[in-house]
Structure 1
């Protein structure tokens, strides 16, 4: 806020250049919408106006017709004062004239907060002024200058920005019904005759209610869905770039045609499945054909098996056309459960929509065995259970050879489901004995047989080890072989295999209750097209972006986005995640990976490069599944700060435990694994719910900065004995599980099964009894608290699980005599 204004005498000698507001400034669309170009300038304060900004009311009658300036001012001061030059050239006495509450329309929100004020200065053609609070605070223009208006008219001052209010636009012309159908009307119009260049868009009204808004260059709109044989009245108005709406056109009346066939139901999905049932859901057709939908017919493997009606209040049973008022053409999502499935069987479903309620199928049609008809593939035969079905001349067949009636839609696209238990998606804090397997290593992309095929062949062994999460490599097409320089997000063909192979792997993993984890690489993205500067800044594959999507301070590429406030990389363009379009596209892609491809959990790559708050939003956009972030840092305090910044939505790879455990196993000194109060070190001991423990991954196994691979088979087994019996969620590296020999695979499988049998989970309690040179001993309970027992170590196990390591030996198991011990 500027310092107090000078006295009246000093004001006359104010040398600072005032901010001027005229009426002929150029209009810059998209960069400065408050600077306007006017074909004609108002010279009076208008008494009659149709704009919301200029209502016809008693207060407006007080306005003087003639030269003058009206100022509308937004301020929290209650009230503000206006210190200004009067018509005779002198300044008002400080603080000036008190401003009154604004009585004009169009500012309802601000008026409700009593933050909009107005002043009328009569008989002036120019005004220099400074608002103030009546005391010591003054609202000066940028640069500590006075505001100046040089043309009579109505102005708005808000946030230091002075803007002339232009007249609302004239009504559009030539409104007509361009096309009329049974369920839609296409209306068209022409721009206003005057000042069309100031029009920002149009509003379409049906029967007096707004139904659509269009852009300035959209001069027609298709209004649907509508009832057939119904008359509708339409008008259109124009809206200027200051959001002032003009008068509406004269009304035109249009009558729709006779109702026809509806479109197919939309968004048919398998919403749940088990060994005993399959649940479906779908939406009402976007175009109902001019009449409400009375019922849906459901087909399984091509055979009519059920009739499902929407809400009874929406349509009446058997109605062929609307009657009695205007019934709703849309209804809530419809749900149906098939309880006649057989465990392990696959089924295909599709649905039709009908204006009438057909007879139900015969009882033998639901869940019965299909018989193959002559010339018709099994499961694709004509409907034989419709009861009062239309005559043959009213029937037509679609590509699936399903017969539909005269008032019935074609079937929607079919969906497939298998009668098996549905995958339970992991979430942070689950008390399930989760184990994650990293399903690849650094060289997996070079497998000549296709890596996805290799992983699919190993699924039975993975399931046998009770592993519940499978971390797969980045799925998108990438510039590099490993997938960490992504380019085409929706192209799932990569060096790891083809899209069909990935989808097959994911489907079979889910059937085995193994949750596929997607490696989300969105900090950076490689462009595939050259921009105007000649470098690669254009994205030609979906999502399609330009240089605006790249941060302006990228070390290699000249991006036009906002500067990054986080860590940039040099090997690919850093994406500007502050851009709303980028955020929208990321969320859409993640939902596609979840809903269409089948991933159930997230691994976030290189989270140092973009906002943790946005990372939390991205996780929430797909329902907050289990998510783990790659934040490579050995200080637990740094990782705790990140967890706080991401609002606790993501776990982290426990690098502090990785470093401590590596040192302990190699030196046989386990003291570094214990911190205060006999709890584990690292994130495991501080926030086990958000701990993903590991001893190796695709980076550490080949990077010399960490000393190369973790160790030999005996060292690896001892380390996994620690992870698999402790809180947090342990991650096993593919190479350790499958490539170190059959004996190690079997021992790791025993340890994994021990975790499952004892019900150990991320919240399990742990008490470290001994942790020093040559010995580590701890008690672990599936409960969140674990107390020290009495007597010698071997007798203190009670009902807890224990782990012991010393010399060249390890022991992990339950109470003496129970199964599941591994030694």
Structure 2
């Protein structure tokens, strides 16, 4: 989701979701990708930023980085939207089957990049934009409500009947009422329509069979009800699927608890077939490290205060993405605190996500790789047990699975919190330290 659809209110914090499919299939395994059979043992990677389309062929860039990304312990990589789009970033798609008009490269370059990741054991997740579409032609009233699919037949060739009747600010729709939030930059899609459901599902199956994608990241999933997103997952059986929903986070007066409960409620709306990007953790974590308010990281029950404190196996943690960071900078993590953020999410429960910009930063890459190694070596998973040792203004410490102890914050006099000689320091940087149990 780009700038055009953002709600730039002072109290708005982006709330996102990642939907994880049935645990019966390995994440990223559909096209010969990730060989990891445990959906709780994922390290996710966003493989682009807001400006990646300017590279000439971003797919070639990703192909060249596949070996290093895999070698870092990353299990699944998220690709940008591949279809023809009015907006160069891909988030205003029109002809969904036309992959050669993408600013990220050609369809053949995309296939090669996907194959390169599969050869290195990494699953490939495609950014799917199905909440809205841009029309190719105007009707007799001048409305851009005639859609073309990009094929020689009538697949995804739609008219006003595919737009909700109450879609704002567009008044040309004749479909059923919308089931979610309006997206003002392009007409919404009526997901209650059986033809819409069928043709979108078939298009997604084609992306799997023809390109080799293993799973999905659903853009602007707040635009339609969770049961429809669950239906698309069911129809296409991805091994990994991602959805995005934006919501407001208000601090104080129970706002944090209400925010993470909203994430849990949304998971339930998909019949518990999905997990959620833990934007509650992002919001609390970046405020805590910025203002030396690390006490925020422990809730009233002594648990982590984000979604990872109540439903960690469904929580996908992250520091920044193409909206919050990159050149959009809509809600960036404090740049001088990034490694504290990664020390937190890579040692804690939940599924951690690495942002491309951070991984390519030579000042961060080594530390991120080291933290991933620690996570893997100690078998920290999405549902690992986390005991918070202390959470004070300038010091946060936690014990994960009694294998790893970590701390963030400016205070370094922490000897009284460490268990005798059982743990040894294995990673450290600006205001973070990680200890591992000796073996």
TM-score range, shorter chain: 0.7 to 0.9
User: In the aligned structure 2, how far is the partner of 1:540 from the partner of 1:565?
Assistant: 23
User: In the aligned structure 2, how far is the partner of 1:648 from the partner of 1:424?
Assistant: 23
Q: Note the alpha carbon deviations across 1:728-772, whole angstroms, 9 max, x for none.
A: 11111111110x2x2421111111111111111111111111111
Superposition deviation, residue 669 in structure 1: 2.5
Higher relative contact order (CA 8 A, sep 6+): 2
Q: Larger Rg: 1 or 2?
A: 1
The 5 Å alignment of 1:771-810 reads 771-781=391-401, 792-795=416-419, 808-810=430-432
Task: Rate the CA distance shift 1:782–1:431 in 2: closer, same or farther, 3 A.
Answer: farther
Say whether the 8 Å CA contact 2:32–2:123 is kept in structure 1. Answer: no
Q: Does 1:644 align with 2:268?
A: yes
Structure 2 residue aligned with 1:697 = 321
Residue aligned with 2:125, SS? strand
Task: Rate the CA distance shift 1:490–1:782 in 2: closer, same or farther, 3 A.
Answer: farther
Structure 2 residue aligned with 1:457 = 64
Instruction: Pick from 445, 448, 467 the counterpart of residue 53 of structure 2.
Output: 445
Task: Rate the CA distance shift 1:636–1:800 in 2: closer, same or farther, 3 A.
Answer: farther
User: In the aligned structure 1, how far is the partner of 2:421 from the partner of 2:351?
Assistant: 22
Structure 2 residue aligned with 1:753 = 373
Say whether the 8 Å CA contact 1:426–1:601 is kept in structure 2. Answer: no
Q: Does 1:681 align with 2:305?
A: yes
Residue aligned with 2:50, SS? coil
Task: Rate the CA distance shift 1:782–1:650 in 2: closer, same or farther, 3 A.
Answer: farther
Structure 2 residue aligned with 1:488 = 95
User: In the aligned structure 1, how far is the partner of 2:402 from the partner of 2:81?
Assistant: 34
Structure 1 residue aligned with 2:256 = none
Superposition deviation, residue 653 in structure 1: 1.3
Structure 2 residue aligned with 1:710 = 333
Q: Note the alpha carbon deviations across 1:781-801, whole angstroms, 9 max, x for none.
A: 299xxxxxxx94332695899
User: In the aligned structure 1, how far is the partner of 2:432 from the partner of 2:119?
Assistant: 35
Residue aligned with 1:777, SS? strand
User: In the aligned structure 1, how far is the partner of 2:233 from the partner of 2:311?
Assistant: 19
Task: Rate the CA distance shift 1:613–1:579 in 2: closer, same or farther, 3 A.
Answer: same
User: In the aligned structure 1, how far is the partner of 2:427 from the partner of 2:260?
Assistant: 24
Say whether the 8 Å CA contact 2:323–2:329 is kept in structure 1. Answer: no
Structure 1 residue aligned with 2:160 = 547
The 5 Å alignment of 1:263-278 reads none
Task: Rate the CA distance shift 1:642–1:771 in 2: closer, same or farther, 3 A.
Answer: same
User: In the aligned structure 2, how far is the partner of 1:533 from the partner of 1:462?
Assistant: 50
The 5 Å alignment of 1:616-631 reads 616-623=230-237, 625-631=239-245
Q: Does 1:666 align with 2:290?
A: yes
Structure 2 residue aligned with 1:763 = 383
Superposition deviation, residue 704 in structure 1: 5.7
User: In the aligned structure 2, how far is the partner of 1:477 from the partner of 1:754?
Assistant: 41
Structure 2 residue aligned with 1:164 = none
Task: Rate the CA distance shift 1:544–1:760 in 2: closer, same or farther, 3 A.
Answer: same
User: In the aligned structure 2, how far is the partner of 1:756 from the partner of 1:469?
Assistant: 15
Instruction: Pick from 136, 150, 153 the counterpart of residue 528 of structure 1.
Output: 136
Q: Does 1:510 align with 2:134?
A: no
Residue aligned with 1:814, SS? strand
Q: Note the alpha carbon deviations across 1:363-400, whole angstroms, 9 max, x for none.
A: xxxxxxxxxxxxxxxxxxxxxxxxxxxxxxxxxxxxxx
Structure 1's unaligned 5+ residue stretches are: 1-420, 784-790, 819-823
The 5 Å alignment of 1:591-606 reads 591-606=205-220
Superposition deviation, residue 531 in structure 1: 2.1
User: In the aligned structure 1, how far is the partner of 2:421 from the partner of 2:287?
Assistant: 27
User: In the aligned structure 1, how far is the partner of 2:421 from the partner of 2:307?
Assistant: 25
Superposition deviation, residue 460 in structure 1: 1.8
User: In the aligned structure 2, how far is the partner of 1:802 from the partner of 1:687?
Assistant: 29
Say whether the 8 Å CA contact 1:440–1:473 is kept in structure 2. Answer: yes
Q: Note the alpha carbon deviations across 1:75-108, whole angstroms, 9 max, x for none.
A: xxxxxxxxxxxxxxxxxxxxxxxxxxxxxxxxxx
Say whether the 8 Å CA contact 1:764–1:782 is kept in structure 2. Answer: no
The 5 Å alignment of 1:37-186 reads none
Say whether the 8 Å CA contact 1:777–1:804 is kept in structure 2. Answer: no
Say whether the 8 Å CA contact 1:760–1:782 is kept in structure 2. Answer: no
- 1 or 2, which has the higher helix percentage? 2
Say whether the 8 Å CA contact 1:777–1:802 is kept in structure 2. Answer: no
Say whether the 8 Å CA contact 1:722–1:803 is kept in structure 2. Answer: no
The 5 Å alignment of 1:303-382 reads none
Structure 1 residue aligned with 2:16 = none
- 1 or 2, which has the higher strand percentage? 1
Residue aligned with 1:771, SS? strand
Say whether the 8 Å CA contact 1:758–1:801 is kept in structure 2. Answer: no
Superposition deviation, residue 813 in structure 1: 3.7
Instruction: Pick from 529, 533, 558 the counterpart of residue 172 of structure 2.
Output: 558
Residue aligned with 2:205, SS? helix
Superposition deviation, residue 628 in structure 1: 2.8
Say whether the 8 Å CA contact 2:133–2:188 is kept in structure 1. Answer: yes
Q: Does 1:575 align with 2:189?
A: yes
Is 792-801 or 754-763 further displaced after alignment? 792-801
User: In the aligned structure 2, how far is the partner of 1:766 from the partner of 1:650?
Assistant: 22
Q: Note the alpha carbon deviations across 1:392-448, whole angstroms, 9 max, x for none.
A: xxxxxxxxxxxxxxxxxxxxxxxxxxxxx9434778x7242x111110001111113
Q: Note the alpha carbon deviations across 1:545-592, whole angstroms, 9 max, x for none.
A: 111111112222401111213211111111111000000011111211
User: In the aligned structure 2, how far is the partner of 1:763 from the partner of 1:462?
Assistant: 24
Superposition deviation, residue 540 in structure 1: 2.6
Structure 2 residue aligned with 1:29 = none
The 5 Å alignment of 1:183-194 reads none
Say whether the 8 Å CA contact 1:778–1:803 is kept in structure 2. Answer: no
